[in-house]
Amino acid sequence: MSSFQHLLGKHLTSTPLNTGEVVAKVAEASVEDVDTAVSAALAAFPSWSSLSPIQRGKPLKKMAEKILSSTPELAELDAISMGRPVSSFFDADYAAVHFNYFGEAAYAQGHTSLNTPGFINMSLRQPFGVVGIIIPWNAPLVFFSKKVAPAVAAGNCVVLKSSEKAPLTSWKVSQWIKECGFPPGVINVLSGHGHISGSAISSHMSIRAISFTGSTRTGRAIQIASANSNLKKVVFELGGKGPALIFDDADLEQAAKDTENSIFWNSGQTCMANSRIYVQDTATEKFVEVFKKLASARKMGDPTKGEINHGPQADKVQFEAVNKYIDAGKESGGKLALGGEEAKTNGETKSLLIHPTIFLNADESSRIMKEVIFGPVVVINTFSTEAEVIAKANHTEFGLYACLYTKDLERALRVSKKLESGMVGVNCAAPTGCWDLPFGGWKGSGTGRESLLESMDHFLEVRSIYFKCPGIGG
Ligand code: NAD
């Protein structure tokens, strides 16, 4: 369904790949393409869903192998499309874990009940049929695998739309679907924009469930389209404005190291990143000194080069949006401690690189404290009491990932309980997580949870069967 022409790459160009040059041309899916993909998925569903979990698992496990053995190529495709440094590419390992796990773990079970006299009752968990998957650009292969693997393992057929900003790894993986042994129509990959193919998926009458990761704004649009069409089941992983709370008894060096990595990894394009840091006033000076030193040492440049750990923003739109936030930050009452002005240029090269940018003591109600920037911009504010910092941390419409640093274990638990957040790191920061606990957000950060143990639930409908059996007695 998708066609792709690779124009540039390390063999074809000497231009540093951080400049916003065109690197590929990718087909744009139309509404008709979505219909064609849904028809193929509907046709494939009866036989795919009637296979055993082991039979369905075979192609999933082959896909895991194929992805792992292609790690360098996949890393390069994300580097050239959205600027992700190859040095930070963990996505193939992550994807392989998901395809391998769901290749063996798709034993969905319902319940049985003898609690109604004269009946043997049971519930069944069955696939929906066709499910829609819409993914963002910041870690495309991660989202591809964490949604597609459980969906098809459960017996569904999928129509996935990649992000217009980073379609290349999804395209590459789509080329292996047949080779891995998936029957035609089980996994359908489209590339295209949100307002055409994304909307068509969200409002399609034959798609019964949708799994989406992306911005809160788009989540809202998909929710409305789902409600206005056939009331699809939705699961959303959305934006975050993560707070980090640093108490003065913490290991400040470690806290600075972790929180600096959290916000500047992937050039700030991480939903879980701690973009708001609150440091107790007695510890601010030391924390800021270490944090600034680490941020200043980031190696910026061409993301295909192994020594680079800070690549460009995904595209010109993101670059301009982040720079507007930097301008807004200068009016936030805060002090620019790093980055800012020089962020817009990189020596003589016109580039989409933005320097790590730190604001100190910005107004709590300013835009850089309230809105998702999705770039390498952090605010470090201060607090004096526990109650004050909890109130500040929770004063947001988001609730994805919060973290706190302290050596006082009772305080750690007390504060963790009070933070309005789907995930809380104690003496560790995002992206620290684990495979088998629920991943997801409170408030505007989402609805539903994903993980190896949870994700398949979204892709299964439940049916209760009341089986009248008077002959069984009592
Ligand atoms: P986005 O919402 O702009 O786009 C995400 C996807 O939705 C893309 O494929 C896009 O084409 C599609 N889309 C856009 N408009 C649509 C519409 N009206 N109908 C259907 N689909 C539509 O988000 P993005 O810019 O790709 O990603 C950045 C955002 O994603 C940030 O807000 C970030 O915090 C969030 N994010 C969240 C998580 C998480 O797990 N919670 C992970 C990564 C990113």
My answer on whether 353 and 334 are in the same domain is yes
HSE-up of 413 (CA within 13 Å, CB side)?
A: 2
Residue 204 CB contacts under 8 Å (≥ 6 apart), including other chains: 34, 35, 38, 132, 229
Q: What is the mean pLDDT of residues 45-49?
A: 98
Tally of CB atoms within 10 A around 26: 19
pTM for this one? 0.95
Residue 35 to residue 197: CA distance in whole angstroms: 10
The answer to whether position 472 is within a domain reads: no
pLDDT tens string 334-380: 899 999 865 444 454 568 999 999 999 999 999 999 999 999 999 99
My answer on whether 219 and 296 are in the same domain is no
The answer to whether position 23 is within a domain reads: no
Instruction: Read off the CATH number of the domain in which 409 is found.
Output: 3.40.309.10
Q: Residue of the nearest CA to atom 34 in ligand 1?
A: 239
My answer on whether 232 and 258 are in the same domain is no
Nearest atom in ligand 1 to 225's CA:
19
The answer to whether position 248 is within a domain reads: yes
Identify the pLDDT of residue 16.
52
The answer to whether position 189 is within a domain reads: yes
Identify the pLDDT of residue 323.
93
My answer on whether 101 and 232 are in the same domain is yes
Nearest atom in ligand 1 to 165's CA:
26
My answer on whether 48 and 175 are in the same domain is yes
- Ligand 1 centroid–CA 348 distance in Å is 33
C-beta separation of 336 from 359 below 8 A = yes
My answer on whether 231 and 108 are in the same domain is yes
Which residue intervals of 395-441 are DSSP H helices?
A: 409-418
My answer on whether 305 and 227 are in the same domain is no
Residue 176 to residue 420: CA distance in whole angstroms: 41
226: left (phi over 0), alpha (psi -120 to 50) or beta: alpha
Following CA atoms 72, 236, 136, 308 in sequence, which dihedral angle do they give, to the nearest 10 degrees?
Answer: -50
Q: What is the mean pLDDT of residues 267-294?
A: 97
- Name the residue type at position 397: E
- Give the mutation target among 84, 201, 215 for probing the ligand 1 site: most ligand atoms within 8 A of CB: 215
C-beta separation of 165 from 315 below 8 A = yes
Q: Taking Cα atoms as reference points, which of 276, 284, 291, 287 lies closest to residue 363?
A: 276
Check pocket membership of 134 for ligand 1, CB cut-off 6 A. Answer: yes
Instruction: Domain of residue 455: give its range.
Output: 31-238+445-464
- Ligand 1 centroid–CA 375 distance in Å is 14
Give φ, ψ of 86 to 5 degrees. Answer: -60, -25
The answer to whether position 16 is within a domain reads: no
My answer on whether 277 and 418 are in the same domain is yes
My answer on whether 125 and 142 are in the same domain is yes
My answer on whether 111 and 97 are in the same domain is yes
Identify the active-site residue in 76, 180, 260, 271.
271
Give φ, ψ of 5 to 5 degrees. Answer: -130, 115
pLDDT tens string 169-201: 999 999 999 999 999 999 999 999 999 999 999
Check pocket membership of 235 for ligand 1, CB cut-off 6 A. Answer: no
The total number of structural domains in the chain stands at: 2
Q: What is the mean pLDDT of residues 278-284?
A: 98
My answer on whether 328 and 201 are in the same domain is no
My answer on whether 206 and 323 are in the same domain is no
